[in-house]
Amino acid sequence: MYNIEVPDDELYKKLDTPFNKDFVKISLKNDPTKFCVMPQSFVDLDLERIKNMEIFEDDVWVVTYPKCGTTWTQEMVWMIGHNLDYKTSLEVLLDDRYPFLELQGIVPSYPKNMFDECVNMPRPRYIKSHLPAFLLPDQLWTVKPKIVYTARNPKDTAVSYFHHYHNMNGYQGTIGDFIKTFVNDVMMYAPMNNHVIDFWNIRSQPNILFLFYEDMKRNLKQEVRKVMKFLDKDYSQDEIDKLCSHLSFDSIKSNKMINKENDIKHLMSIAGREYNPEKFTFIRKGKVGGYKQELTRESIEMLDKYIKKAEFDIEYHF
């Protein structure tokens, strides 16, 4: 089913970090245009068991390319699906309520077996993944549980991904070098264009809800109502107002059940870095258009060409 290729490219080697290295290119044998860059550890631990995973109709999945508002979307979807259960939300880590399917495959030292956590969750299961459509479980496309997909403009995504990869993974390169790996589709989970296009093309299916990060920033109440309708939930305006306050940027950033502070400490210790919340937090700035303050004209032009190359009808709301 898959070709596993070890790329002979210096750009890949620049991405090696203390716990993400030995990158490979996974592609479909019958369609090499469908490919994804992942560490060898993912192939060894997760590739086949995820592909053959049993799926249930009442599952609720959140799928995104990394750094596209995943955590924010998870909390929104979980709260709406669980009748606005603030008590549990404030007492139980989001990663325990909405586990990350392939985490062990990309961080083998992670203390929990996240695949088993997902498989053994009480139903209805809420599951998160960054995998592209072709690497997700086969049964996802036949059983057809609800899937919420969130997209974000590639410029802000790339900048956010750089800060994540630098601080949490121990990446030593510059942001300019990182942008080069991003637009050349050698970054982990690359290519972003294909990742988004595959879900955009199936957005009309009744079990798919396609959201934009930028829309969530501009009109959160509108997006909350979309998710409510998608999950067959009905809440009053006062309840929606309270939920949007709970989902505000400042609230999410300071909420220790959501902001992944423990994960940051664990991963940064492996990467040989000292955790300092004054310098880096998982939920960083969350701005639309923040790339303008961080990227050179050259990097912006490279990303513009990358976006244009996609040739699809998504408005990224620059």
List the chain domain ranges. Answer: 52-310
Instruction: For 173, list phi and psi in degrees, rounded to 5.
Output: -80, 175
Enter the CATH code of domain 52-310: 3.40.50.300
- Give SS3 for 291: helix
Distances (CA, A) of 48 to 28, 43, 102, 139, 147: 13, 8, 11, 13, 21
pLDDT digits (tens, 9 = 90+) for 248-305: 988 887 788 886 666 666 666 665 666 655 555 545 566 788 889 889 999 999 999 9
Please, what is the average pLDDT of the chain? 89
In this prediction, residues 110-138 reach a mean pLDDT of 95
Dihedral, CA atoms, 284, 285, 289, 292, nearest 10 degrees?
-80
155: pLDDT strictly greater than 70:
yes
**CB contact set of 96 (below 8 Å; sequence gap of 6+):** 117
Q: How many CB atoms lie within 10 A of CB 276?
A: 10
Query: CB of 306 within 8 A of CB of 193?
Result: yes
Of 63, 68, 94, 103, give the one whose Cα is nearest residue 255.
94
Concerning whether 266 is annotated as a catalytic residue, the answer is no
Active site residue: 82, 130, 163, 195, which one? 130
Q: Confidence band (pLDDT; 50, 70, 90) for 10?
A: confident
- Higher model confidence: residue 164 or residue 160? 160
Single-letter amino acid, residue 98: Y
- Give SS3 for 51: helix
* Ranges 94-103, 121-130, 234-243, 251-260: which has the least confidence: 251-260
